[in-house]
Amino acid sequence: MRLLTINRVQDVRFARRLPELEDFNQAPGNNGQWDIPALRKLLEDILPHHTFFKGFEVNHSFPLIGRKIMILNARQIYFKEISSLDRFPPIIMLAMEDVTEIMAVAETLANHANRLESSLADQAKKMEARIKKLEKEIDALKGKL
């Protein structure tokens, strides 16, 4: 599978140039870091089975830019004119969305929510114990009247 083009945002993000990206296994990093078997299977199934995929998550540490979490979507690009099929190879458009920051914020919020829930549960237990103690004191006072 060959990478034909890459948008400027991805080119800059991965600090690579298109001539270096001939083989998808090597794109957009070094040493086959994009050779992810599950992703390769999804991509290889698109053309023969006329499928697509949405929401494939890649969580990977890249040499130049560090750990990134990306959501990938891919589908075949169809030509309106049948004659175009003879001039161009089948094309798959692969869209990438870097959700690293969003996932970090979501993780932070989840941690805060868990701590808050735990704190509230502790406070509720203390309040229940205090209420029981007060109920006993009230019952004792009623008994003295």
Per residue of the chain (145 residues), give pLDDT as tens: 666 666 666 655 665 544 454 555 554 444 566 777 888 899 889 988 989 999 999 898 877 778 889 999 999 888 777 665 567 778 888 888 899 999 999 999 999 999 999 999 999 999 999 999 999 999 999 988 7
Is residue 57 within 8 A of residue 38, CB to CB? The reply is no
Task: Map out the domains of the chain as residue ranges.
Answer: 8-98, 100-145
Q: How far apart are CA 66 and CA 64, in angstroms?
A: 6
Question: What does the alpha-carbon distance between residue 86 and residue 133 come to, in Å, rounded to a whole number?
Answer: 85
CA atoms within 13 Å, Cβ hemisphere of 107: 7
Give the pair of three-digit tokens for residue 14. Answer: 């991965």
Cα 122 vs. chain centroid, distance in angstroms? 33
Residue with tokens 């929401």: 55
Enter the pTM of the model: 0.65
